Chains A and B, each alone.
Chain A
Amino acid sequence: MSKALDLITRVRGVRGAMLVSTEDGLVVAEQLMEGIKGGAVAALAASLAGRLGRAMEAAGTGTSVFWHLQAEQGALLVVPGDASGGILVVAVAEPDVNIGLVRLELLRAAEAVV
């Protein structure tokens, strides 16, 4: 698991990566830079994933495969649980991170976790 996270955090601009239980929003594994609160990231990511998932199901786009929250000072990138057996693969990154690269590593990590 830590090897999977290691590949994500090697991407320039990624401040941390973690595996989160979809069901209860608890941290399963993490590799975070100092100052990032793993527990908060896990809980918030799981909650947002749940709400977004319901909206997407209602819109007919099916289960989410990857999502990306862009904010002024950073980004949250997530491969949701269904793709990784009930585990969210999460990255916290700088705003100008290479999203395509992080997405790729998140999907690889999800595969490795399963």
Chain B
Amino acid sequence: MADEIRALSAQLAQDPQSLVFLRLGEALRRKGQLDAALRVAVNGLERHPHLADAHDLYARILTDKHDYARAFDEWDMAVRIAPHHTGALKGLAFLYFKVGDVAQAEAHLEQARKVEPDDPSIDQAIVMMRKGAAPPAPEPSAAPSPPAAAVSPAAASSALDEARVFAGLEGANEGLLLIDGAGRVLGGSLKDKAGTDVTDAVAAYLAGVSQEAARTAKLLGLGAWMGLSAEGQNGNVHLAHPTPEALLLVVRERGMPLGRLAILAQRATLMARRWLEKQ
């Protein structure tokens, strides 16, 4: 193992752009040298920010360091870049199970099974989870998925640009909607429980909600409104305005407390504001 690490380090030093950092980071992780593994993964990510395997590696190291929130963000990002990345799907399943969301955990494992029906570790994880035991922490996929940029550079980059509004945010690929004051969608999308796209309908209603919130706060002498949180029977929402002209809606499952949702919305608001400033 030590020889392998030395050889991989030398290889990476010779060609810093190469993908050998994936193997080096993993070797260091397996050896328990987590800080060194983390440095390798972060350096690799700086050079290859659109590489799902790099986010997957980083997430596995973070999981070993018990930094589950950031690990979730990284696996979430990996799936957004490469939706069929089984390592990331298994990772998300593992984390969902850890917070007690068995349904989401199973859904992610089922998704991974559809991609790799012959992978016995997925079946094993599902069985363990149904028995109430935590599925094993995810290991790297046997065959690393190709970088998104290598698959289809143009398509990947255009899809990514829009998705990047909320890049790196927990659950960035769902339940986030950014609209302008006239109810036109600027970024994100929403689906209901049945999977139907409800983006446009919700966007249309939100403009009215925002106007009414502003009017209410003003007429009651409460000053400018800053946010509107609501608990629904099937989900919770938080509405904020990153700029005076834009609105941001964050939708999450009922299980997410309003306080945590507000923190998430605050992060999303900052990201949306930065993204809007660059436009």
Chain A contact residues, CB within 8 Å of chain B: 36-37, 40-41, 44-45, 47-48, 51-52, 54-56, 58-76, 92, 99
Contacts and interface: CB of A to CB of B under 8 A. Distances in A.
Given A59-B202, A72-B224, A65 B231 contact: yes
B224 A59 contact: no
B209 interface: yes
A61 B192 CA distance: 8
A56, A61, A76 pick with most chain B CB within 10 angstroms: A61
B216 A56 contact: no
B231 A66 contact: yes
B279 interface: no
B209 to A, nearest CB: 5
A47 B212 contact: yes
26 contacts: A40-B220, A44-B212, A52-B212, A55-B202, A55-B206, A55-B237, A58-B198, A59-B192, A59-B232, A60-B192, A60-B235, A61-B237, A62-B234, A63-B233, A64-B232, A65-B233, A67-B229, A67-B230, A68-B229, A69-B217, A71-B222, A71-B223, A72-B223, A74-B220, A76-B216, A92-B220
Given A68-B258, A71-B223, A61 B233 contact: yes
Contact of A48 (B209, B223, B235, B236): B209
A36 B220 CA distance: 8
B92 interface: no
B208 A51 contact: yes
Contacts of A48: 209, 212-213, 216
Interface in B100-139: none
Contacts of B219: 40, 44
A32 to B, nearest CB: 11
Main secondary structure of the interface of A (DSSP, over half): mixed
Interface in B197-243: 198, 201-202, 205-206, 208-209, 212-213, 215-217, 219-237
Nearest to A73: B223
Interface in B168-194: 190-194
Interface string B247-279: 001010010001000000000000000000000
A100 to B, nearest CB: 8
Contacts of B190: 59-60
A76 B232 CA distance: 17
Contacts of A40: 219-220
A106 B75 CA distance: 39
Report the 7 A-B pairs with minimum CB-CB distance, sorted nearest first. A60-B192, A72-B223, A61-B232, A62-B233, A61-B235, A71-B222, A55-B205
A82 B118 CA distance: 49
A55, A70, A72 pick with most chain B CB within 10 angstroms: A55
Given A55-B205, A59-B202, A70-B227, 12 more contacts: A40-B220, A48-B209, A48-B216, A52-B212, A52-B228, A55-B209, A64-B230, A67-B228, A69-B222, A70-B225, A71-B217, A73-B223
